[in-house]
Structure 1
Amino acid sequence: MPSSTSTDHGRRPPLAGTADEAVAGRVRERFVADGTPVTAAAVVSAVRAEPGAALLGDTRLLRLADQVHGDLVGAGPIGPLLADPSVTDVLVNGTQVWVDRGDGLTQVATPFRSVDEVRRLAQRLAAACGRRLDDGCPYADARLPDGTRLHAVLPPIATDGPYLSLRTFRQRPFQLAELVQRRMVPAGLAGLLEAVVAARLAYLVTGGTGSGKTTMLNTMLGLVPARERIVLVEDAAELRPYHPHVVSLQARTANVEGSGSVDLGALVRQALRMRPDRLVVGECRGAEVVDLLAALNTGHEGGAGTLHANAATDVPARLEALGLLGGLPRAALHAQVAAALQVLIHLRRTAVGRIVDAVCLLLPSGPDRLVTVVPAWRRDAGPQPAATALARLCVERGVPAPDVLTGRVR
């Protein structure tokens, strides 16, 4: 969606003055009112047709046309930022712009001339996704055609806004070797991740916001043998693994009349009828965790999902909370988890980037058989108490024990 002619890092030279602003405003309004297809040539022609355009000069006219085109299509002035493969998040606070390239937020040169321009961009992007964004509905959550996730909030809810939060989408998923090269995955751990997939162990990828859960899951799904069918269930379509046989179901929100919604729980039940070899829930955030656990307990091995959790040890409590939303009592929830899930892969954000922090087993313990998280490998310490048990699980399923669990590789 980015504009191809904007300058580097999203910075645009300001218009020469109020006269240029007036011309830009009239041209924008004309395109909106007429419904004319917005092409670069059409915008240039429209600017040339404005009174006094002959006095602008070619350079000034083309710059004005470029900015009007950026305002009407794509992501406008932040298009170059979204096109930058190193950028994961673009945040707009009023006219301030911040980006995250994997090592924390940094402020960049402001490409916006006014908060009105930010508001127009937010409303246009939301409208392109079929979402309403105005004074009557001052916030919207949507997904752009290229997969970028958009959240926008308008004043007066956004006190110094508008606020835009955009999470970029990588068109090509990372291969495992690339994650090793980026030091997200230690070289010795790659064999363990491959073994988890090959042994058809069910796993959760956990971590805080922006820790790389979707990236990791996308990569691991690319390790699934080509002869197997992957069925994805997601609230918003983010997973696009490099695999020849993937089908995806996406939840649907209610329309303006409040009807027509389809939640993740319903989609999980539909997925079970689609002959999945691997059933994957993109993110467990509600009662659908009950349906996922039920599905994984009906012979669907090798399933996966992601879950928000600040620490690996927080996962049982997080699952309990979600289970209660689905009416599943604590004891029943733990029994389902113990039977359905084996491995937990926890990620963490650090000052130097996103890393795999630990690989753990979910094991029942004590007289009440509550599930606890037992580390099998830690980034800072290597093999842990559950390493032998995880190696045994792999061997029992015909996969050699990964070297990283035996201490031969760190």
Structure 2
Amino acid sequence: MSPIDDGLLAEVRGRLVGGTTADDSELRAALRGTGRVLGSDALTDLTRRARAELYGAGPLQPLLEDPDVTDVLVNSPAEVWVDRGAGLERAPVHLGSVAQVRALAVRLAAAGGQRLDDASPLVDARLPDGTRLHAAIAPVCESGAVISLRVLRSRAFTLDELVDSGGLPAPWGPVLRRLVAARANMLVSGGTGTGKTTLLAALLSLVPGHERVVCVEEARELVPDHPHVVPLTARRPNVEGAGAVDLADLVRNALRMRPDRIVLGECRGAEVREVLMALNTGHDGGLATIHANSASVVPARLEALAALAGMTREAVAAQAAGALDVVLHLRRSGRVRYLAEIGAVRDVRGELVVEPVATWDGVREPVAAEGWDAFADRWSGV
């Protein structure tokens, strides 16, 4: 979709009344009023393009609306990349000039309630439709402006759908169902783009409908198929530096909201202390995600994050061993994101250890490790 003519766009903007978002009938009326539109097909096309330019992501909007696209990345006006699940690929989109890319970044930041200018050249925001935005402009970006957009999925996948798509071996489906029913505290780990949020949402969809689920996230991405979800989203400080609400604040407040399950979208800082404390005080069935290269390095990641909250290695081991039961580790191979490891959390002589009890390469049958029988026995009575 090519950008709409700047003169026509300016005239349409001038004909719209007020600062609220215009509906399609108002946009069509404004376009007709310019006297430049002939034919119903041309009017329909221009209405769609005008909406994208005024309220959406401009020429990037069709990419965001593609159900297969998870990420849209802009490196320069002529270099736009998308991820449809098989890695990054170039998109046939040209954004005009460096100035137009910068203007688009500034407008998207404003739509997310954030400021992007020379005094504040970096922004991390959430757009009204849930899309996550990160943008950088000069002087920190030599190319003038770069934009990263992460699309919010409109629905949660079921475990059966994950099995059908190759993301989960069939024998593990009943295991995960038992873990959720038994209120095991689980940590979903993996690298960027491995499907941590997708698996987490699928697990939350298995939670009984009468339970109250409180989800804490930096930017809302979780959309589980569950009737009683309370989303809490962190807030960045405003331009005066006030009004910030961080993840640790939200976790502490979630404890006062009569939760049956507390969920942290991603452990990425000092808030890990609050999560571990919550899961050690009777709030079973909690879930969270964390970035890690394998299940076995999760303890080191927890120690690094908890150190930001002043916790010692020994304190982390004691708290995490009591708070966490299972680590589910995800990997990505080409287009397929799959659950590669199930790990049991142990305290071995005062040291936190995650022992893989089963592994899967995404193709062959899953392989049970030495501790699988004991693990299966522990959760088999549900």
Equivalent residue number for residue 222 of structure 1 = 205
| 2:106 aligned counterpart, secondary structure | helix
One of 146, 167, 170 as aligned partner of 1:187: 170
Q: C-alpha displacement at 1:315, in angstroms?
A: 0.6
| 1:282 aligned counterpart, secondary structure | strand
One of 366, 370, 374 as aligned partner of 1:385: 370
1:210 aligned onto 2:193 = yes
Q: C-alpha displacement at 1:47, in angstroms?
A: 5.0
Distance 1:262 1:64, change over 3 A: closer
Work out whether residues 16 and 22 of structure 2, in 8 Å CA contact, stay in contact via their aligned partners in 1: no
Equivalent-residue separation in structure 2 for 1:282 and 1:63 (angstroms): 38
Equivalent-residue separation in structure 2 for 1:197 and 1:37 (angstroms): 42
One of 133, 136, 145 as aligned partner of 1:162: 145
Question: What does the per-residue CA deviation read over 1:319-378, in whole Å, with 9 as the maximum and x for residues that have no partner?
Answer: 00111111111101101111110100000111132111111111122x3x2011211110
1:75 aligned onto 2:57 = yes
Distance 1:57 1:185, change over 3 A: same
Equivalent-residue separation in structure 2 for 1:346 and 1:36 (angstroms): 44
Q: C-alpha displacement at 1:70, in angstroms?
A: 2.4
Equivalent-residue separation in structure 2 for 1:167 and 1:22 (angstroms): 27
Equivalent residue number for residue 220 of structure 2 = 237
Counterpart mapping for 1:16-165 below 5 A: 21=5, 23-24=7-8, 26-27=10-11, 30=14, 35=19, 38-43=22-27, 45-46=29-30, 58=39, 66-95=48-77, 96-165=79-148
Percent of paired sites with the same residue: 49
| 2:141 aligned counterpart, secondary structure | coil
RMSD: 2.3
Equivalent residue number for residue 405 of structure 1 = none
TM-score, normalised via structure 1 length = 0.85
Q: C-alpha displacement at 1:29, in angstroms?
A: 6.1
Equivalent residue number for residue 304 of structure 2 = 321
Equivalent residue number for residue 4 of structure 1 = none
Structure 2: stretches of 5+ with no match in the other structure: none
Letter in 2 for 1:279: I
Equivalent residue number for residue 354 of structure 2 = 373
Equivalent residue number for residue 333 of structure 1 = 316
Q: C-alpha displacement at 1:69, in angstroms?
A: 3.6
Equivalent-residue separation in structure 1 for 2:143 and 2:20 (angstroms): 34
Question: What does the per-residue CA deviation read over 1:23-66, in whole Å, with 9 as the maximum and x for residues that have no partner?
Answer: 2354266369974854545555555555xx56x76577776665
Letter in 1 for 2:168: V
Distance 1:375 1:34, change over 3 A: closer
Q: C-alpha displacement at 1:178, in angstroms?
A: 1.0
Question: What does the per-residue CA deviation read over 1:288-342, in whole Å, with 9 as the maximum and x for residues that have no partner?
Answer: 1111111111111111100011222211111001111111111011011111101
One of 305, 316, 330 as aligned partner of 1:347: 330
Distance 1:264 1:270, change over 3 A: same
Equivalent residue number for residue 3 of structure 1 = none
Distance 1:34 1:264, change over 3 A: closer
Work out whether residues 23 and 47 of structure 1, in 8 Å CA contact, stay in contact via their aligned partners in 2: no
Equivalent-residue separation in structure 2 for 1:36 and 1:241 (angstroms): 30
One of 277, 288, 298 as aligned partner of 1:294: 277
Work out whether residues 78 and 111 of structure 1, in 8 Å CA contact, stay in contact via their aligned partners in 2: no
Q: C-alpha displacement at 1:120, in angstroms?
A: 2.4
Distance 1:370 1:118, change over 3 A: same
Equivalent-residue separation in structure 2 for 1:155 and 1:28 (angstroms): 30
TM-score, normalised via structure 2 length = 0.91
Q: C-alpha displacement at 1:212, in angstroms?
A: 0.6
Letter in 1 for 2:310: G
Distance 1:33 1:379, change over 3 A: same
Equivalent-residue separation in structure 1 for 2:298 and 2:291 (angstroms): 8
Work out whether residues 306 and 316 of structure 2, in 8 Å CA contact, stay in contact via their aligned partners in 1: yes
Q: C-alpha displacement at 1:75, in angstroms?
A: 2.2
Counterpart mapping for 1:1-20 below 5 A: 11-12=1-2
| 2:267 aligned counterpart, secondary structure | coil
Equivalent-residue separation in structure 2 for 1:137 and 1:33 (angstroms): 30
Corresponding pairs, count? 376
| 1:171 aligned counterpart, secondary structure | coil
Work out whether residues 138 and 153 of structure 1, in 8 Å CA contact, stay in contact via their aligned partners in 2: yes
Distance 1:199 1:323, change over 3 A: same
Equivalent-residue separation in structure 2 for 1:145 and 1:214 (angstroms): 20
Question: What does the per-residue CA deviation read over 1:258-282, in whole Å, with 9 as the maximum and x for residues that have no partner?
Answer: 1221221122111112222111111
| 1:273 aligned counterpart, secondary structure | coil
| 2:242 aligned counterpart, secondary structure | coil
Q: C-alpha displacement at 1:210, in angstroms?
A: 1.0
Work out whether residues 114 and 238 of structure 2, in 8 Å CA contact, stay in contact via their aligned partners in 1: no
Equivalent residue number for residue 379 of structure 2 = 394
Structure of higher CA gyration radius: 1
Structure 1: stretches of 5+ with no match in the other structure: 1-10, 16-20, 400-410
